[in-house]
Structure 1
Amino acid sequence: MKILCVADEKDPLVYSSHVVERYGDVDMVISAGDLPLKYYEFIVSSLNRPFYFIFGNHHVEDLPKFTKRFGLEDAYDLRFERSRMGWGVGGDFIDGLALRDPASGLLLAGLGGSMRYNHGEHQYTELEMYLRVFKLLPKLFYNRIRYGRYLDILITHAPPRGLGDREDLCHTGFKAFLWFMRKFKPRYLLHGHIHLFDLNSPRVMHYCETEIVNIFGSFLLEKD
């Protein structure tokens, strides 16, 4: 299986008239945030593959369109309103959710946002991120009972604490993700937020049974 992963900055190899030639054989597209919706629309309309995304701490002006801030009663009403207003990007917003991709059977979950550093939108303290993790627990335990595992891929915007993060508060990772990996053992944690301007910077790290990948720009994940 091939998964095209994007985050943080548009990649000219993706945002290209040759995108189908390069990535037409991927099975899925995942974004870890900080990209405009128009970029997603281009990718989805070009590749016509399942698409899952979260928001980071930038490009959050459209975040309310994907959350229940309109007084809508349920998820169906929210999807209908997005469709009616032309807000959809042809994919699934999974920030704070866990779901199963019907085509591949992969179990996915998303936890967007960054460490709180200036009280901006979609920023969280460590405690707040733990609370977001705990809200996923019922679905994760259901996955364990139904499919024999908790999760395959956790999509985050920020990295785990001490694993590819930075010292400044904005780019500090979350300890909550370390606990998550120890407890639920996802095969992959895909994140963005940390820009890799040095092409020699390591993208891949490991923690317990999880492979951690910084998908800044774009990254082609190939899994068995």
Structure 2
Amino acid sequence: MLVLADTEPEWGAIPEAVTTHQADIVVTAGDLNETWLRRAQLTEVSVPTYGVYGNHCNGSYLDTLGVTNLHLNRVEVDGTSFVGLEGCVRYKRRGRDILYTQAEYAEMVADLPAADVLVTHCPPAGINDHTDPAHVGITALCDWIDTNRPLLVIHGHTYPESPIRSYRSSRIEYGCVNPIWDHDDGLTGTHLAPANHALGLGGHCRVARAIGICRPDRGYRFRALGGLHRRGAQPRCREVL
């Protein structure tokens, strides 16, 4: 799974990144420029693409570029489910930005289907959000995570210097990552491999880190270094350095 959010990476071609990291899907988590996505050849990737809009998005490029919109929409990829939430908490009265009040988010989240992976542009309240009005988190998402226990929550929008990486039993990842999504014997797991470059953004850098998705119901657990293997078997996930 190749995830893009908020910034334009130093590498320019998304199909090349997909091939290099052997990604099976591409996920966009918002605040990306349609012109750049076209220039980076998103429409030419050979794998499925999914995404949500950020608050600064034009609200049309997902459809235009053939990307499946995850907003309030649950989809399955080889047995692993995804759902998304667009925009951010309203911080101004006017404008074309995709903004919702906390009350509006509460209504949407009440109907948000359970899924293994949540892709939200704006993080949950208290998880990698900030105190300024433009970057506060979504209050209702904390209860949703408590109830549905997704394996992974992916978000953009904010720039924490010391990001929270887990909440309850869910893994939290923000920004741009370059992972490998492994499929083995019909069993699904994820190994996010370290990126070979940093992505500059707003004075900060984002670097992919090794993480894993655990599917206890399918006989999987975490390895100490973030890899994934079956109980009693040798590790099968690929590592890209």
Going from structure 1 to structure 2, the CA distance change for 1:176 and 1:221 (only over 3 Å counts) comes to farther
1:118 aligns with 2:116: no
Match of 2:219 in 1: none
Gap regions ≥5 residues in structure 2: 181-189, 191-227, 229-241
Distance across 2 between alignment mates of 1:131 and 1:57? 18
TM-score when normalising by structure 2:
0.67
Tell whether 2:119 aligns with 1:155.
yes
User: 1:33·1:56 contact (CA, 8 Å) conserved in 2?
Assistant: yes
Map 1:45-194 to 2 at 5 A. 45-60=43-58, 63=59, 88-101=64-77, 104-119=78-93, 120=95, 121-136=97-112, 140=113, 150-194=114-158
CA offsets per residue over residues 165-207 of structure 1, 9 Å max, x none?
A: 11101100111111110000110110000136xxxx3445211
> Tell me, what secondary structure is at the counterpart of 1:176?
helix
Comparing 51-60 and 88-97, the one that deviates more: 88-97
Q: What number of residue pairs does the alignment pair up?
A: 179
Q: Give the aligned residue type for 1:88.
A: T
8 Å contact from structure 2 (residues 151, 171) kept in 1: yes
More strand, by proportion? 2
Q: Match for residue 30 of structure 1?
A: 27
Would you tell me which structure has more helix in proportion to its own residues? 1
Question: Which structure's relative contact order is higher, taking Cα pairs within 8 Å and 6+ residues apart?
Answer: 1
Percent identity reads 26
TM-score between the two structures when normalised by the length of structure 1: 0.71
User: Could you list the runs of 5+ residues in structure 1 that have no partner in the other structure?
Assistant: 67-86, 141-149
Is the partner of 2:165 in helix, strand or coil? strand
Q: 1:19 to 1:134 in 2, by over 3 A?
A: same
Cα distance change of structure 1 residues 17 and 91 upon mapping to structure 2, 3 Å threshold: closer
Q: Structure 1's 88 and 184: CA in aligned 2 closer, same or farther, altered over 3 A?
A: same
Question: Which residue is 1:205 aligned to?
Answer: 165
